[in-house]
């Protein structure tokens, strides 16, 4: 009985400690609920509403019916209309659309004569799931109209066996590693940069070194910049390692400028480090810093488009994903490496990273000043 009392006393002591540590107590319920919501509600492998552009060169009743059938399928979301296939290719290279629909001038005649296929689908197949979703439209039925009454009497020519010709871009072999490896740059940087920075300030506080730094002429921005610079260099080294291994082992192409890639990586590294700094001002111990880092890491992995198609997520999940830095960096790194786009063409994904960095650094500076006071 004495042994049971001692065990019970230790258990009660541990429960009291958990109750005092509000962050750990919150994680007990927070992490299971977060995982349940993310996996059960936000994650969907059924790709729909892919952003698509249309070049309807026919401008006929038949082409309009075809586009209406495409929208009714909910596989594509026709967000932009252009006048040529070259414009669709440019939009795809910049990452503004995933699929391009080309309806030629002689669409009606092709359908009437049974020419197969009478139209084209241009697909960014860097993600094989996009290509698989587009394949479901290849046999979309079209209404065939014979060119003459004589053809009707004779039975006419057979209709087209297939509606669309498929033209895959950037990853026609459908190799998953070509899509995954560039994304790993962002995942690795997110995990290491946020964790290293979150622990750095807390470690100084636990060891008592922070009080010594406060007494020196070093100002708060200088202290934070000095803390960040070594990790910026580490992040660039990690980027180089992933690039080299990905190129050597998996033959990942580098179609864009390496300078653009490193500049984009530098901006993302600063965003991740600023998040780590903010976490360090909220955590009292290194263990809490680990907990908060994991809590921010999980949504970025699941909602950024790294593991699951971004377009397949519900609107609320995509709204949250747009606020995460990893979402935008994945678009930048895949755009540069796989599609050969430049930073100017990817500015829509770059400026949110700059804004995120500015907001996180401002909050971290404000909280850190309060701690100094």
Tokens at 223, concatenated? 């202290």
Where does the chain have alpha helices with state H? 2-20, 22-37, 61-73, 85-93, 107-113, 128-135, 149-153, 176-207, 209-214, 220-250, 258-282, 286-303, 315-322, 325-339, 347-372
Number of domains in the chain: 2
The pLDDT of residue 212: 59
Residue where a domain stops, chosen among 142, 169, 196: 169
180, 298: one domain: yes
The pLDDT of residue 372: 44
**Residue 298 domain flag:** yes
Task: Give pLDDT tens digits for 158-175.
Answer: 556 688 999 999 988 888
157, 133: one domain: yes
Residue where a domain stops, chosen among 136, 169, 202: 169
The pLDDT of residue 144: 57
**Residue 338 domain flag:** yes
**Residue 250 domain flag:** yes
The pLDDT of residue 229: 86
How far is 364 from 277, CA to CA, in rounded Å?
Answer: 6
**Residue 1 domain flag:** no
Domain that holds residue 163: 50-169
Residues (pLDDT < 70) of the chain are: 1, 6, 8-11, 13-15, 17-45, 143-161, 207-218, 220, 369-373
127, 213: one domain: no
**Residue 276 domain flag:** yes
303, 163: one domain: no
78, 207: one domain: no
- Note whether 242 and 181 are within 8 A (CB): yes
DSSP 151: H
Kindly list the distances between the CA atom of residue 234 and the CA atoms of 91, 199, 229, 303, 327, in Å, as whole numbers in the listed order.
34, 15, 9, 26, 21
- Note whether 112 and 146 are within 8 A (CB): yes
222, 121: one domain: no
181, 325: one domain: yes
135, 103: one domain: yes
Task: Give pLDDT tens digits for 176-199.
Answer: 889 999 999 999 999 999 988 888
What is the model's pTM? Answer: 0.83
**Residue 234 domain flag:** yes
The pLDDT of residue 343: 92
71, 118: one domain: yes
**Residue 297 domain flag:** yes
Torsion of CA 21, 24, 30, 36, to 10 degrees: -160
Residue where a domain stops, chosen among 137, 169, 201: 169
Tokens at 52, concatenated? 């698509």
**Residue 288 domain flag:** yes
- Note whether 126 and 179 are within 8 A (CB): yes
Beta-carbon contacts of 165 under 8 Å, excluding residues fewer than 6 positions away, are: 117, 119, 120, 121
Residue in the block written with tokens 């993302």: 268
CATH of the domain at 83: 3.40.1710
The pLDDT of residue 340: 93
Closest CA to 227 of 205, 243, 242: 205
């Amino acid at each position: 009985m004495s042994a049971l009392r001692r065990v019970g006393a230790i258990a009660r002591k541990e429960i009291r400690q958990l109750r005092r540590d509000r962050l750990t107590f919150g994680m007990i319920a927070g992490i299971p609920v977060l995982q349940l919501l993310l996996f059960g509600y936000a994650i969907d492998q059924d790709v729909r509403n892919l952003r698509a552009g249309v070049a309807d060169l026919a401008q006929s009743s038949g082409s309009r019916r075809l586009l209406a059938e495409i929208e009714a399928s909910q596989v594509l979301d026709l967000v932009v209309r252009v006048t040529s296939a070259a414009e669709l290719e440019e939009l795809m290279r910049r990452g503004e659309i995933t699929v391009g629909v080309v309806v030629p001038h002689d669409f009606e005649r092709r359908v009437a004569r049974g020419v197969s296929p009478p139209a084209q689908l241009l697909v960014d197949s860097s993600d094989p799931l996009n290509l698989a979703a587009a394949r479901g439209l290849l046999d979309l039925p079209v209404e065939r109209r014979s060119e003459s009454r004589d053809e009707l009497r004779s039975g006419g020519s057979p209709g087209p066996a297939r509606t669309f010709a498929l033209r895959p871009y950037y990853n026609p072999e459908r190799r998953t590693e070509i899509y995954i490896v560039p994304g790993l740059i962002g995942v690795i940087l997110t995990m290491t940069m946020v964790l290293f920075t979150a622990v750095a300030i807390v470690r100084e506080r636990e060891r008592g070194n922070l009080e010594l730094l406060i007494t020196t002429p070093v100002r708060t921005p200088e202290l934070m910049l000095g803390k960040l610079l070594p990790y910026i260099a580490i992040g660039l080294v990690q980027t180089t390692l992933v690039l080299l291994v990905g190129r050597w082992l998996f033959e990942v192409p580098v179609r864009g400028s390496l300078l653009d890639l490193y500049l984009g990586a530098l901006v993302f590294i600063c965003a991740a480090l600023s998040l780590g700094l903010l976490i360090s001002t909220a955590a009292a111990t290194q263990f809490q810093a680990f907990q908060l880092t994991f809590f921010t890491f999980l949504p970025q992995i699941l909602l950024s488009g790294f593991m699951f198609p971004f377009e397949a997520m519900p609107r609320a999940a995509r709204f949250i994903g747009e606020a995460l830095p990893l979402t935008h960096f994945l678009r930048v790194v895949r755009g540069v490496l796989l599609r050969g786009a430049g930073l100017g063409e990817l500015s829509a994904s770059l400026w949110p990273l700059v804004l995120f960095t500015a907001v996180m650094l401002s909050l971290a500076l404000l909280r850190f000043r309060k701690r100094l006071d």
